[in-house]
Chain A
Amino acid sequence: MSAPLLDARSVTMRFGGVVALRDVCVAQMAGETLGMIGPNGSGKTTFVNVITGHLAPTSGAVDFAGRPLLGRKPHRIADAGLTRTYQAVRVFRELTVRDNIATALVDAEAPLARAEVDEAIGWLALGGRLDAVAGGLTLYEQRRLELLMRLVQRPKLIMLDEPVGGLSSVEVRAMIGLLAELKSRCSVFVIEHTMKVIRELADRVVVLLAGEKIADGPPAEILTDQRVIEKYLGSADA
């Protein structure tokens, strides 16, 4: 069996007295789509922050593509092909869509070629918005731009933090379609509250509760697991 693309071992993250992550082990194979669910405050975003170098964990080890990640700055981690999006959408609001894309290309290690960038712009239906200022886009457009800015960097793994948060149900359906296609472009790690996203996209799902991993398996199994239902699905949406 080959080594996982992402291998996080016993990651612990403490903020003063709060333990946001406790001994979390998560492995993801290349090509696999891994979902992560858990109630608010269970440590999902913190997990992404640690993996992508935005936070230094209290203890633990993380390998990506066979190389250790911890201690590397976020821009070095991006260079290695690991990227992320933000729970609250984040684009350069004052810049045009075109300049946002150009900024994503400026220090990309393996940027897409022009024609490929064009193709990605078309895929995300942003061609008509290139001269618009990003802050003026709809949330759904901004989410797509966020995705595009990662894609032009040809990432190996993209970690999406609640990619359908705040979208209308029509947009959620459309975004799920895009994310299903995204899987053919790179490996996907996705945090979601919307179970539909996890059910339709994830090959495997990890459940966090109060910073601890309480389940890890195929969605069909996990989403019917009595413990998960009690702790999470019972209290949140289903």
Chain B
Amino acid sequence: MIDRILASRQSQLALFALLAFAVPLLLSGNRYFAFIAGITLVHVLWASGMNLLYGYTGLMPLMFAGIAGISSYLVVGLTSIGWSFWLAMPVGALAASLVGVVLGLPALRLKGFYFTLCSLVIQTVITLAFVYFVNLTNGDTGISQIPLPTLPGGASLHGLPYDLVLAALAVIGVFVLIRLVDSGFGRRLIAVREDDELAETLGIGVTRQKLTAFFVGSLYAGIGGAFYTPYVGFISPRSFDVLISLNVWLMVAFGGRGTIWGPVIGAVLLAPVPFLLQDYYMIKDVVYGLLIIGVIVLLPAGIVGGLVRRPKPDPEIVPATVGEGAR
């Protein structure tokens, strides 16, 4: 019975929403733990966006953090010259999406490893740009004391309400991903991932699908970035360097790329790790390195992918009336 209920995506989403809102509420007595929960929720959003690109479209964009950073810096910059966060946020996120589409252009030519390599170079350039444009970013020193978003009436968004906003974003992010993936768009992306030449032969405009995927994936990066920075109160080029991209990628790969819940679980398990290892700063990167190798070698389909590696039949589109009894 419970299995049956949990089998539907609506109930899975409802359960996730319940947890996403409940955990910050339960942890509200301890600001530090609640903060870890908030950061985890941002990573759920990021992992979902990365999942659209890596899991469903088959592209591994190592400039994902850079795109989030572009949105972050833009929002910080715009609010510092007097814009409301609520106006700066969509502008920053949208700008990051457009940049994401442009930076995704190499994916039209390069596949697999070659695109990943190219995205690594792009990420490096973005990080260098964050360091270089000192006027806008304050360079390596970074910008601290970033103002919190203000609410109507003048109060600032902080503490539990901010956590709950992040919970809402994570839930909306997963909900939108479910809708996208279950639509024709998701089917096209999977076709592109599996064999883009065959997809094209079957009438699927591969270029358009890839660029749309970059737009949407970058929007996830950008929205997450916009909310992340005021929450943390600090931004520097290190906040959005290649290691962050790799972390988000690891969440997707570890949890199960190309499944809805795998990357969510990956984010929930891995996002708190840096906080838990804070006292062991030296070994943090080693732990991540081992995890990456472990996932590649032992769990190529991820936790969820390893459990349910079964493509879902789609009775909507092709009725199974013919010959079903034949086997």
Contact = CB atoms under 8 A, between A and B. Distances in A.
B317 A101 contact: yes
Interface stretch (A26-34, A72-80, A175-183, A216-224): A72-80
A207 B323 CA distance: 41
A83 B201 CA distance: 7
Nearest to A150: B202
B285 interface: no
A108 B322 contact: no
Contact of B203 (A79, A96, A101): A79
Interface stretch (A1-9, A12-20, A123-131, A165-173): A123-131
Contacts of B201: 52, 54, 74-75, 78, 83-84
Contact of B317 (A52, A102, A109): A102
A153 B318 contact: no
B322 to A, nearest CB: 4
A58 to B, nearest CB: 21
B194 A98 contact: no
Contacts of A93: 194
B184 A90 contact: no
Size bracket of the B interface: 20 to 34
B62 interface: no
B93 to A, nearest CB: 29
A56 interface: no
B211 to A, nearest CB: 14
A114 to B, nearest CB: 6
B317 A105 contact: yes
A108 to B, nearest CB: 6
A95 B195 CA distance: 11
Interface in A105-163: 105-109, 114, 117-119, 121-122, 125-131, 133, 149, 153
A86 B200 CA distance: 13
Contacts of B194: 92-95
A109 B201 CA distance: 13
B311 interface: yes
B323 A106 contact: no
Given A75-B203, A106-B187, A127 B311 contact: no
Contacts of B202: 75, 78, 83, 103-104, 107-108, 149, 153
A75 B197 CA distance: 10
A99 interface: yes
A86 B205 CA distance: 19
A28 B155 CA distance: 74
B213 to A, nearest CB: 15
B190 interface: yes
A75 B318 CA distance: 22
